[in-house]
Amino acid sequence: MTVHVLIPVFNRLALTQQLVDCMRRQQTDQALELLIVDDGSTDGTDAWLSLQKDIRTVRGNGYLFWGGAMDVALKQLKALASADDWVLLMNNDTTVDAFFVQQLIDTARAHGPAAVGSVIRDESSPAKLLSIGAHIDPWRLVTRDLLDISTLHRDQATVSVDALSGRGVLFPMASILAVAGMRPRALPHYLADYELSVRVRKAGWKLLVSTTAAVYSAEDYGSTRRAMTWRERLLSVRSPAYLPALFVFWWEASNWLQRLTLPLRLPLFLVFPRLRKNA
């Protein structure tokens, strides 16, 4: 069996090199294969990747974003990978230790069938925990980190979550095949990772986070924001509030009654976000 490591990149060559070094140092009982989707980098990433004989590369047009890049990579894997293989989704602005992949595999084996994510720690202060995993409230359309609503016990090896971040998550290839991969048209970037994991959970796989497997990142990960008009906020794929992505994600995360009321609740909470505060 093989672990296929999928890494979408756009510029930030130094970060990509750092993560690749981490992957090359992995101590695991499974073979690792790296597949990087370079979505139109202009900083020398393409030239550097062309010299790396152990990395398979796909070149994008600059408009794939995270969901589209992962979709391209997963479509390539369908022709190459076995259903018994693993798929590891990574971001290039993270680092991991040498036993990271093996810790994810061990957890997935011990608790299977399961997809397994990792905690996020502060790269400048590794003892500081930044994220455990997602709790979803489909009624109020709120996602919160378990770090904000519960305490992680020192001897707690795994945590059950409602959705998994794409920053270091191991999926059985069979689970990806079962849900037919990504949906980049509706979810080109934000929520694409959560939505994929929600469908995997519905297809019968547990969603777990291994507390011993950590990715290290800057504390402000995922927080790049800029002022947007209302139109941009709802209709730009660069926006966390991109309307098609919000609707598809919450539809997948909801039961039948929540789906029935979603067309009413979604615009209500967008116009009056304070109504979600009591979640």
Is the model's pLDDT at 224 over the cut of 60?
A: no
pLDDT tens, position by position, 80-108: 889 899 999 999 999 999 999 999 999 99
Q: What pLDDT, on a 0 to 100 scale, did the predictor assign at position 219?
A: 84
pLDDT tens, position by position, 151-179: 777 778 999 999 999 999 999 999 999 99
List all residues 6 or more positions away from 148 whose beta carbon is below 8 Å from its beta carbon. Answer: none
Tokens of 124: 């400048």
% of the chain beyond a pLDDT of 70? 97
Instruction: Report how far residue 221's alpha carbon sits from residue 203's, in angstroms, rounded to the nearest whole number.
Output: 30
pLDDT tens, position by position, 48-62: 999 999 999 999 989
Higher pLDDT, 216 or 224: 216
First to last CA, the chain: 43
Q: What pLDDT, on a 0 to 100 scale, did the predictor assign at position 222?
A: 57
Q: What pLDDT, on a 0 to 100 scale, did the predictor assign at position 12?
A: 96
Q: What is the mean pLDDT of residues 196-215?
A: 97
- CATH classification for the domain delimited by 2-276, as one of 3.90.79.10, 3.90.550.10, 1.10.579.10, 3.90.1150.10: 3.90.550.10
Q: What is the mean pLDDT of residues 185-201?
A: 97
Instruction: Report how far residue 155's alpha carbon sits from residue 145's, in angstroms, rounded to the nearest whole number.
Output: 20
pLDDT tens, position by position, 9-65: 999 999 999 999 999 999 999 999 999 999 999 999 999 999 999 999 999 989 999
Largest CA distance in the chain: 53
Looking at residue 51, its amino acid is L
pTM of the model: 0.93
Domain ranges of the chain: 2-276
CA distances from 196 to 57, 85, 129, 250, 262 (A): 23, 18, 24, 12, 19
Q: What pLDDT, on a 0 to 100 scale, did the predictor assign at position 231?
A: 82
* Angle subtended at Cα 39 by Cα 215 and Cα 167, rounded to the nearest 5 degrees: 15
Instruction: Report how far residue 150's alpha carbon sits from residue 98's, in angstroms, rounded to the nearest whole number.
Output: 29
Q: What pLDDT, on a 0 to 100 scale, did the predictor assign at position 250?
A: 98
Q: What is the mean pLDDT of the chain?
A: 93
Q: What pLDDT, on a 0 to 100 scale, did the predictor assign at position 223?
A: 52
